Amino acid sequence: MPRLFGTNGVRGVVNRELTPEMVLRLSASAGHLLGREIAVGRDGRTSSEMLAKAAIGGLLSVGCRVHDMGLLPTPTLQYAVKHLGLDGGLMITASHNPPEFNGVKVILKDGVEAPRGLEEEIEGLYFSGGPPLKPWGEVGSVGGFNPLDLYVEGLLRHVDVEAIRRRRFRVALDPGNGVSALTAPTLARRLGCEVYTINTDIDGAFPGRGSEPRPDNLGGLSRLMEAVDAEVGVAFDGDGDRALFVDEGGVVHWGDRSFALVVRDYLSSHPGEAVATPVSSSKMIEEVAREAGGCVLWTRVGSIVVSRTMLKEGISLGGEENGGIFYGPHQPVRDGGMALALILDLLAREGRPLSELMGELPRYVQRKERVPCPNELKPRVLEALRGCVEAERVETIDGVKLWFSDGSWILMRPSGTEPIFRIYAEAEAEGRLNRMVEEHRRLLEALVEEVKSS
Ligand code: MG
């Protein structure tokens, strides 16, 4: 059977790979399986309103009662579904993908994205022509609900609001023209921060700095921080589930470093617990966790895998190198607002600047690369790759991860959302890192060409 779902819901280029007709049938199939009370939300993409209307149409056709929540971050919809006791939710978003993309995330009543089994059931119904439609008298109805305040209140319950307020942090926020513009400034103000912002106009073309925050596109935020003498900078991705932090010196830190601070802080009051993180994260996480008396459970890459692993193994904290922090006591899904609240909470308790805390973490150099590869060739390229790599230790939890005797590692895995292989690598020194990445990038490019022409 053909697949609709990738590692993070359904994604595609709008009106080419993902049309309103598809979303309508997909939503009808999901609604048929999820239950009656379904929330629908959307990010700020140009095509999101079109697809949200199609989703609502599909849900109504199978008799659902739709709670139209409009524009909001993905974690806000997830929180609302669980908190309001709904049967599920559909989020129209392509997260950090370029503007021409969009997608659908299916949320279960527990607020977490649907597991593989349910995705397959939805795909089964979809490819068999869709579920039976209700007769005219039994089609569903639509009501509106705005969960933004409910969500911010929910976040505040997990941090020491008074202690944070006393610090009167100067915070700079960069939602990157995405929907966290609707929640992050409110949250920071409720925490008593002096708030400065950039790129807060919600705009589906993402004109500010693109929808994916990366160290190389946050120059605007760093300049704003310098101008206003901010202590913390935070950049969110397009749908607000990920956050990257910038210290008071303007240095942007990858997500595994901010996650490591949260891990250290969390384990200091929860000794012996495990935290979950994908194999793409720095080995520094494991070192920090061990030193704090805990351990790491490594997972495949993908936020759904981390969430479901947390639920299955009873783990309360998860994180990703891309800036996703999953805080179980709030909800076991990545949540940029929760990440902001947790970092301010630990800064208030530590009473030291972010750069100093980051400076205490083990430091390795990292590099990420991408090698184009058509989706349909990915399985054969991966198989060829497995057959020809050599290392001290080879792990296949996800893609191929090679560990070398000097402690450096490189991970090569097919992206679940784009026609590329992603390369992640880490080493003690720049020269070693670059040689390792170049060598394996050339290998991967050669394998893609070889499979293409075979
Ligand atoms: Mg996202």
Domain annotation covers residue 170: yes
User: DSSP 3-state assignment of 209?
Assistant: coil
Residue 303 sits in a domain of what CATH number?
3.40.120.10
Q: In this model, does residue 416 exceed pLDDT 90?
A: no
Instruction: Specify whether 424 is located in the same domain as 390.
Output: yes
Instruction: Specify whether 194 is located in the same domain as 276.
Output: yes
State pLDDT tens for residues 346-375: 999 999 999 999 999 999 999 999 999 999
Tokens representing 451?
A: 């499979």
CB 320 within 8 A of CB 257: no
- pLDDT-derived band at 450 (thresholds 50, 70, 90) equals very high
Instruction: Specify whether 296 is located in the same domain as 402.
Output: no
State pLDDT tens for residues 207-228: 999 999 999 999 999 999 999 9
CA dihedral 27, 32, 36, 42 (to 10 degrees): -10
Q: In this model, does residue 8 exceed pLDDT 80?
A: no
pLDDT at 1: 64
Rounded Cα distance, 66 and 83, in Å: 16
317 forms beta bridges with 327
Range of the domain at 370: 365-453
Q: Which range (19-23, 59-63, 165-169, 301-305) has the least confidence?
A: 301-305
Domain annotation covers residue 414: yes
393 forms beta bridges with 403
Other CB atoms closer than 10 Å to residue 165's CB: what's the count?
15
CB contact burial 108-126 (16+ within 10 A = b; e otherwise): bbebbbbbeebbeebbebb
User: Which segments of 121-251 are extended strands (E)?
Assistant: 141-144, 170-174, 194-197, 232-236, 243-246
The DSSP element (H or E) to which 431 belongs, if any, is: helix 430-453
pLDDT at 81: 98
261 forms beta bridges with none
**How many angstroms does the Cα of residue 73 sit away from the middle of ligand 1?**
9
**How many angstroms does the Cα of residue 240 sit away from the middle of ligand 1?**
6
pLDDT at 417: 73
Tokens representing 197?
A: 């912002």
Mean pLDDT of the 243-253 span:
96
Q: In this model, does residue 5 exceed pLDDT 90?
A: no
Tokens representing 301?
A: 């890459």
Instruction: Specify whether 26 is located in the same domain as 100.
Output: yes
Mean pLDDT of the 136-152 span:
98
Mean pLDDT of the 418-440 span:
96
Note residues around ion ligand 1 (Cβ under 5 angstroms): 95, 237, 239, 241
Mean pLDDT of the 23-52 span:
98
Rounded Cα distance, 389 and 427, in Å: 18
**How many angstroms does the Cα of residue 270 sit away from the middle of ligand 1?**
28
Where among 333, 359, 385 does a domain terminate?
359
Our count of domains for the chain comes to 3
Q: In this model, does residue 2 exceed pLDDT 80?
A: no
Other CB atoms closer than 10 Å to residue 35's CB: what's the count?
14
Where among 146, 180, 209 does a domain terminate?
146
Mean residue pLDDT of the chain comes to 96
CB 190 within 8 A of CB 168: no
Per cent of the chain over pLDDT 90 is 94
Instruction: Specify whether 373 is located in the same domain as 446.
Output: yes
**How many angstroms does the Cα of residue 337 sit away from the middle of ligand 1?**
12
Say which residues have a Cβ less than 8 Å from residue 425's Cβ, sequence separation at least 6: 366, 367, 368, 369, 408, 409, 410, 411, 433, 436, 437, 440
State pLDDT tens for residues 298-343: 999 989 999 999 999 999 999 999 999 999 999 999 999 999 999 9
State pLDDT tens for residues 88-127: 999 999 998 999 999 999 999 999 999 889 999 999 999 9
Rounded Cα distance, 113 and 307, in Å: 8
Rounded Cα distance, 340 and 180, in Å: 11
**How many angstroms does the Cα of residue 182 sit away from the middle of ligand 1?**
15
Instruction: Specify whether 134 is located in the same domain as 206.
Output: no
**How many angstroms does the Cα of residue 433 sit away from the middle of ligand 1?**
28
**How many angstroms does the Cα of residue 239 sit away from the middle of ligand 1?**
5
Instruction: Specify whether 125 is located in the same domain as 208.
Output: no
**How many angstroms does the Cα of residue 166 sit away from the middle of ligand 1?**
31
Tokens representing 96?
A: 């950090």
Instruction: Specify whether 269 is located in the same domain as 315.
Output: yes
Letter for the amino acid at 126? Y
Rounded Cα distance, 188 and 173, in Å: 9
pTM of the full predicted structure? 0.93
The set of catalytic residues is 95
Domain annotation covers residue 224: yes
